[in-house]
Structure 1
Amino acid sequence: MIRTAALAGLATAFLAPFAGADDWPQWMGPNRDGVWAETGIVRTLPKAGPKRLWRVPVAPGYSGPAVADGRVYLTDRRLAPDAKNPEDPFDTKQKVHSTERVLCLSAATGEKVWEHEYDCAYQISYPAGPRCTPAVRDGKVYALGAMGDLHCLDAKSGKVLWSKNFPRDYSAKVPTWGFCGHPLVYKNLVICTVGGEDAAAVAFDKDTGAEKWKALNARDLGYAPPTLIRAGGVDQLVVWHGQAINGLDPLTGKVHWSVGLEPLFGMSIMAPRQAGDRLFAAGIGGAGVALKLDRTRPAVSVVWQETADKNVAHGKPRGLYPVNMTPFVEGGTIYGVDQPGMLRAVDLETGKRLWFTHQPVIGHVEPEDFKGAGSGTAFVVKNGDRYFLFAETGELIIAKLSPKEYEEVSRAKLIEPTGAAFGRKVVWSHPAFADRCIFVRNDKELACFLLAE
């Protein structure tokens, strides 16, 4: 009896951070806006780093974890026996045999609950693994792999309820860097960027997989996720493919507006960010736009815009142009990592640059023309009055961001950077913040750290 009571007490103490806690059921959180609403979170990180609750081995991938109902969902990729990736990460000629997996783990312990594995040969640049964070809604998990395999699975058992293959079903061309548009669940639909004729965006019935609508043609599908905003008195679906940013009716696919926005190499990546009646999107090569959202109808006008130019040696004099991350917009200021690898603050209304620092991205201060941090990445999440930044170095940083300055509060190393990019080791996977914890992964492991006070 005493032994049982003691074990029960230990279990209760271990699971305490997860009691009454919030989920992170999709990419960038409950509302896909990079806001972490939980309270009771540490004000500073311990000098020795936050307590690690568990870590488990996983295979490579860029996809972030999703956390819902006490479980963690993650995708990864395993090479076939004797298979290996090309030495040149830009080599897309070789077909490399492998499998992709959808994993379900206990959020409290990391113990595997189920996995679904399927054959998936890769023929893309930077072929480590899947890119998209699963979306969890109403007892179902929606997971999109790098080669265009979309699976809807039962969240409890892992049973496949329906599936699609975009190249097969829509004659979609696999993008150079694979399919990257994190699935969006909206009402009875799951919306994806797909490709193929009139199918840059496709909505499926979330329960059956039946196509409900398709829309848009694009020479380059791009990599940006479908994004929901509300403006002009209605919900709008924003789809930024490689040639233009578009506003659609999310229930029918009707196109309301379109503005040309063409980054280099078709690399539309960030999720367009709404701030009141403004919408911002930008990408590699100096392509960026701030739009005014009409207050009475689904329409836009251009506030300021820059076009991509590969011949501009040191970038544009205004704006910021992220590669792997989505900026945070607060109080009329954009905070994001620019293409050369520094965190910048930019005035949303004018594009004026306010300050920059490499410190939260690569861990040290460098001049603005520093060349060693190209495509630098740090994921920015707001909690209360401060920000949590997860850097490509595997470090977690608490900081205060304002139009005036970057003020670092504390930092701690959580995980090793295992990916390779431009001569440095990186972690390019968005973490999940849930259960008063952070869940982070690299190409070798998934780990959970306690961030409760």
Structure 2
Amino acid sequence: MFFVYAIPVLSLAFVIWAVASRHQDVGARRVTMVATILLACSVWILFRSEGITGDARADFTWRWSQTHEERLLTQTDDEMMVRSTVPETIGRGVSWPGFRGPGRDAVIHGIRIETDWSVSPPDELWRRPIGPGCSSFAVQDNYLYTQEQRGDDEIVACYNLKTGEPVWRHADATRFWDSHAGAGPRGTPAFYDGHVYTLGATGILNALNAQDGTLIWSRSTASDSEVELPGWGFTSSPLVVDEMVIVAVAGTLLAYDLNSGNLRWTGPDGGGGYSSPHLLTSDGIRQILLMSEVGVTSVSPADGSLIWMHSWQEERIVQPALIRNGDLLISAGGLKGLRRITVKQGSDGWDIQERWTSSQLKPNFNDIVIHNGHVFGFNGPILTCLDIENGKRKWRGGRYGGQLILLTDQDILLVLSEKGELALVNAAPDQFTEIALFPAIQGKTWNHPVLVGNILVVRNSEEMAAFRLSLSGG
């Protein structure tokens, strides 16, 4: 990454040297040229790369400054707080079982919040440092589960939702780092029937007891699939279906028995990819979708056999989105944009037709939501609305980056920006309208927010925090 910036700096230094030394003799010019090269190159010794932003801008800091992870490791650890004998609950049946919520679509029904944050701002319940990672949370009762990196250990951690105090941690002796996103796991835990299922960045799949973190079973998905570690690590969030936990290992789906950890089936090879498995029903047929390097594939939950495939080659990160009539929205990342396809089962098999492709919304790692005939997501860092019928842009505004949640009862988008700000935006097609803005956490924020009842939990690779949102009676 330094070379991208070093070359223009060095070129500018050469121009300055050429002009300044044009009257010197040959020997002096050689000496000053060497000095110029050394000076221009030595500037970069002062900086350390902290990765990139969502729109691919470099993030530099002073080389001698401690990383947030290093500061965390030097702090006194208040790990292993005593858990209550009878767990508290936020409300009967209220939970967030894993990646992007119950439907894996970041859509919330039945919640109405106060939107005038100048009068009723989010009330901070707690804040605490956390190790790096792109994970979000699974929440059950009064406990939340996430993944993070602490030194040479990849951690699965349980925290008290109302206090932020640690309950337990499970450690695997492995570490992943890449120059874009930094260190730590990428996937989000899945909670099911008293167990927590996690996939680490190096491919370790764990089944843990949700109460105390006891390891039930563990598998190396890299070994099981014979897939090499991708450049950005293994990023899949586990999906629990029919007594199986299913993960994507690059572009290949693997299904494991929930109880034993035995490998049930392996799906088709989809090349590379950084997406997660997605369960849906199309034309009455339950199927699991995966966005991968070859396009989108659909397989049977029973045995992983291919049902249909739509080719659109590009490395994938974001999830597909289901339209009410059964059509799908799929993305080819930050280069090709968004596509609507129609999926129908006929007498001769499955028929997949492209409805439209739009370059006006190109979600990269920021997932999209659908509401009232429109799709909302990020074109680069800019929030954008498209008409779902034709793919035409309705508006763009708000340089947030980050991730979002849709509150359907109020037609509101709750955005967690890349800078750690919370924003409320009207989920309406007429124009971009920001309702409220609130500083939540510090640092680059790519992690998905979680809303359980009226408790909002956010995190990044530096800190996490919980806020109580005032409920609206309207």
TM-score by length of 2: 0.76
Equivalent residues in 2 for 1:79-90 (5 A)? 79=151
Tell me which amino acid in the other structure corresponds to 1:331: N
1:409-441 deviation per Cα after TM superposition (whole angstroms, max 9, x unaligned): 21211111x2xxxxxxx2111111113111111
- Partner in structure 2 of residue 251 of structure 1: 302
* Cα pair 2:90 2:141 within 8 Å, conserved: no
User: Residue 110 of structure 1 is aligned with which of 151, 164, 167?
Assistant: 164
Distance 1:287 1:112, change over 3 A: same
Deviation at 1:244, TM superposition (A): 1.6
User: Residue 368 of structure 2 is aligned with which of 327, 330, 347?
Assistant: 327
User: Residue 458 of structure 2 is aligned with which of 440, 446, 451?
Assistant: 440
Equivalent residues in 2 for 1:36-435 (5 A)? 36-39=108-111, 41-46=113-118, 49-79=121-151, 98-122=152-176, 124-125=178-179, 126-195=181-250, 200-220=252-272, 222-263=273-314, 266=315, 268-276=316-324, 277-282=326-331, 283-294=333-344, 299-304=350-355, 306=357, 318-339=359-380, 341-359=381-399, 361=400, 376-385=401-410, 386-416=412-442, 418=443, 426-435=444-453
* Cα pair 1:322 1:336 within 8 Å, conserved: yes
Range 42-51 or range 20-29, more displaced = 42-51
How far apart are the structure 1 equivalents of 2:154 and 2:439? Answer: 29
1:114-141 deviation per Cα after TM superposition (whole angstroms, max 9, x unaligned): 1001111325343321111100010000
TM-score by length of 1: 0.79
How far apart are the structure 2 equivalents of 1:219 and 1:295? Answer: 26
Deviation at 1:250, TM superposition (A): 1.5
Structure ranking higher in helix proportion? 2
* Cα pair 1:147 1:178 within 8 Å, conserved: yes
Deviation at 1:393, TM superposition (A): 1.7
Deviation at 1:188, TM superposition (A): 0.7
Deviation at 1:48, TM superposition (A): 7.5
Distance 1:46 1:165, change over 3 A: farther
How far apart are the structure 2 equivalents of 1:345 and 1:55? Answer: 33
Deviation at 1:286, TM superposition (A): 1.0
Tell me which amino acid in the other structure corresponds to 1:437: I
Q: What SS does the corresponding residue of 2:265 show, helix, strand or coil?
A: strand
Deviation at 1:382, TM superposition (A): 2.4
Distance 1:254 1:319, change over 3 A: farther
Distance 1:251 1:42, change over 3 A: farther
How far apart are the structure 2 equivalents of 1:148 and 1:124? Answer: 15
Runs of 4+ residues deviating >4 angstroms: 295-298
Bigger relative contact order, structure 1 or 2 (CA pairs below 8 A, ≥6 apart) = 1
Deviation at 1:302, TM superposition (A): 2.1
Deviation at 1:44, TM superposition (A): 3.0
How far apart are the structure 1 equivalents of 2:344 and 2:360? Answer: 22
Deviation at 1:40, TM superposition (A): 5.1
Deviation at 1:158, TM superposition (A): 0.4
Q: What SS does the corresponding residue of 2:419 show, helix, strand or coil?
A: coil
Tell me which amino acid in the other structure corresponds to 1:204: Y
How far apart are the structure 1 equivalents of 2:111 and 2:394? Answer: 30
* Cα pair 1:21 1:38 within 8 Å, conserved: no
| Identity, % of aligned positions | 29
Tell me which amino acid in the other structure corresponds to 2:404: F
* Cα pair 1:135 1:183 within 8 Å, conserved: yes
Tell me which amino acid in the other structure corresponds to 2:133: G
How far apart are the structure 1 equivalents of 2:448 and 2:119? Answer: 23
* Cα pair 2:97 2:138 within 8 Å, conserved: yes
Deviation at 1:162, TM superposition (A): 0.8
1:12-38 deviation per Cα after TM superposition (whole angstroms, max 9, x unaligned): xxx999244721120111121111234
Deviation at 1:300, TM superposition (A): 4.1
* Cα pair 2:449 2:458 within 8 Å, conserved: yes
Tell me which amino acid in the other structure corresponds to 2:385: A
How far apart are the structure 1 equivalents of 2:291 and 2:419? Answer: 29
Unmatched segments (≥5 aa) in structure 2: 1-86
1:48-74 deviation per Cα after TM superposition (whole angstroms, max 9, x unaligned): 831111122211111112111210101
- Partner in structure 2 of residue 365 of structure 1: none
Distance 1:300 1:133, change over 3 A: farther
Deviation at 1:444, TM superposition (A): 2.3
1:244-263 deviation per Cα after TM superposition (whole angstroms, max 9, x unaligned): 20111122212111111222
* Cα pair 1:218 1:242 within 8 Å, conserved: yes
Task: Please tell me the root mean square deviation across aligned C-alpha atoms, in Å.
Answer: 2.2
1:229-251 deviation per Cα after TM superposition (whole angstroms, max 9, x unaligned): 11111211111111120111122
Choose 1 or 2 for highest CA Rg.
2
